[in-house]
């Protein structure tokens, strides 16, 4: 079962081949207490294909049975002032769409950071996420499923969740059915259009079994508001659950089969050879992917810098690179740093002194 054959679609599809990669960590956002534990991190395979009907891109080789999102999963970005500003922009957007004085459910609320923003603003909300570490009685530490058919939400929010869920169209119907096909849905996900435009090989993760464009995200609804933000890296959808289609129609799609990742990889391989000592900034999924492709044996990059204290002192999956706070630059300086996300460059510049910076 896949994105286009759920809910009575009987069309036969020959998927378009997009990208293949072997030996990738199944969790780019898990960091490990020792280098040995990191080296033993479980690996998988990425085989991205595209539906010629909807344009939807997904990892054909994805195995949901190996995915265990537990308390060791760390993808929180809110330590960054820039990302905090993004969260505020998302909240202001949601207020403009009318979430005030509504009953709100956040599915996949993570560590509860955005949930707390809503709660402090007086929004009546409940959350669902098995990785939640706090003690709020309003957050259920479980995956959302059809058993929660009494939530009666007026707005359902899913931020950076749908890209992790196999058969996302079926899951949206699970949500809609549990909520009696009423209320509005807000979805925020990364966009493949940005990956395509940047040849951003470092933004392909095993964790992300789905890759959306504005077209494929909106195609699931008869009517929807779809737009981009976060420097074009993310897209969002706002739609009435009553408008969720029973099946995906044939779309006039743009094929994503001409990626030039090899050229980009060669470019950064050459860059790593130019310096005697280097670090990367960002121990998230982008940094993990970059290191696994370009420095799998930990020969070229000395360490990783990250401002999240829960990642510091730990190690990158499958490569064993150590993760440090920016203070490491004082005791173990490097010639250059590769910044994994261009959105954070201004705040990083204030913390590195005269070190040469390269931005992906």
**301-331: per-residue pLDDT in tens?**
999 999 999 999 999 999 999 999 999 999 9
- All structural domains of the chain with their residue ranges: 16-66, 81-243, 261-359
Q: Do domains 81-243 and 261-359 have the same CATH topology?
A: yes
Q: Is 279 exposed, middle or buried (0-12, 13-18, 19+ CB in 10 A)?
A: buried
The pTM of this model reads 0.90
What pLDDT was estimated at residue 11? 55
Share of the chain above pLDDT 90, in %: 82
**Residues 207-242: tens digit of each pLDDT:** 999 999 999 999 999 999 999 999 999 999 999 999
Q: What mean pLDDT do residues 287-312 have?
A: 96
Q: Using a CB cutoff of 8 Å and minimum separation of 24, what contacts does 212-218 make?
A: 212/56, 212/57, 212/162, 212/163, 213/55, 213/57, 213/254, 215/55, 215/251, 215/253, 215/254, 216/51, 216/54, 216/55, 216/56, 216/57, 216/251, 217/187, 217/189
What pLDDT was estimated at residue 260? 85
Q: Is 261-359 a domain of CATH 1.10.3720.10?
A: no
Q: Which CATH number fits domain 81-243: 3.30.310.50, 3.40.50.150, 3.40.920.10, 3.30.70.20?
A: 3.40.50.150
What pLDDT was estimated at residue 353? 85
**Residues 21-80: tens digit of each pLDDT:** 988 999 988 899 999 999 999 999 999 999 998 899 999 999 999 987 665 666 667 678
What pLDDT was estimated at residue 7? 34
What pLDDT was estimated at residue 258? 78
């Amino acid at each position: 079962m896949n994105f286009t054959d759920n809910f009575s679609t009987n069309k036969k599809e020959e998927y378009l081949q997009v990208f293949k990669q072997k030996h990738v960590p199944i969790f780019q956002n898990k960091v490990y207490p020792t280098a040995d534990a990191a080296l033993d991190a479980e690996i998988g395979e990425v085989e991205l294909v595209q539906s010629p009907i909807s344009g939807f891109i997904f990892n054909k080789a994805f195995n949901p049975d190996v995915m265990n999102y537990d308390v060791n999963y760390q993808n929180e970005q809110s330590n960054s002032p820039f990302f905090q500003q993004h969260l505020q922009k998302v909240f202001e957007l949601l207020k403009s769409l009318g979430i005030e004085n509504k009953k709100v459910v956040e599915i996949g609320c993570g560590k509860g950071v955005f949930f707390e923003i809503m709660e402090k603003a007086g929004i009546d909300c409940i959350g669902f996420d098995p990785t939640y570490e706090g003690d709020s009685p309003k957050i259920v530490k479980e995956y959302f499923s059809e058993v929660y058919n009494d939530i009666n939400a007026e707005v359902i929010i899913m931020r950076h969740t749908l890209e992790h869920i196999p058969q996302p169209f079926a899951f949206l119907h699970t949500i809609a059915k549990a909520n009696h096909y009423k209320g509005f849905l807000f979805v925020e996900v990364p966009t493949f259009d940005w990956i395509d435009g940047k040849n951003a090989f470092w933004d392909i993760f095993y964790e992300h079994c789905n890759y959306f464009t504005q077209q494929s995200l909106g195609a699931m609804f008869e009517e929807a508001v779809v737009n981009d933000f976060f420097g074009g890296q993310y897209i969002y959808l706002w739609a009435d659950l009553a408008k969720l289609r029973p099946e995906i129609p044939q779309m006039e799609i743009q094929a994503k089969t001409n990626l030039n990742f090899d050229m980009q990889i060669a470019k950064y391989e050459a860059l790593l050879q130019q310096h005697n000592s280097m670090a990367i900034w960002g121990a998230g999924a982008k940094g993990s992917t970059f290191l696994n492709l370009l420095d799998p044996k930990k020969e070229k990059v000395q360490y990783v810098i990250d401002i999240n204290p829960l990642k510091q002192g730990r190690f990158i999956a499958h490569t064993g690179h150590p993760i440090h706070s920016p203070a490491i630059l004082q005791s173990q300086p490097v010639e250059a740093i590769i910044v994994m996300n261009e959105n954070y460059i201004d705040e990083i510049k204030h913390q590195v002194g005269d070190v040469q910076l390269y931005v992906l």
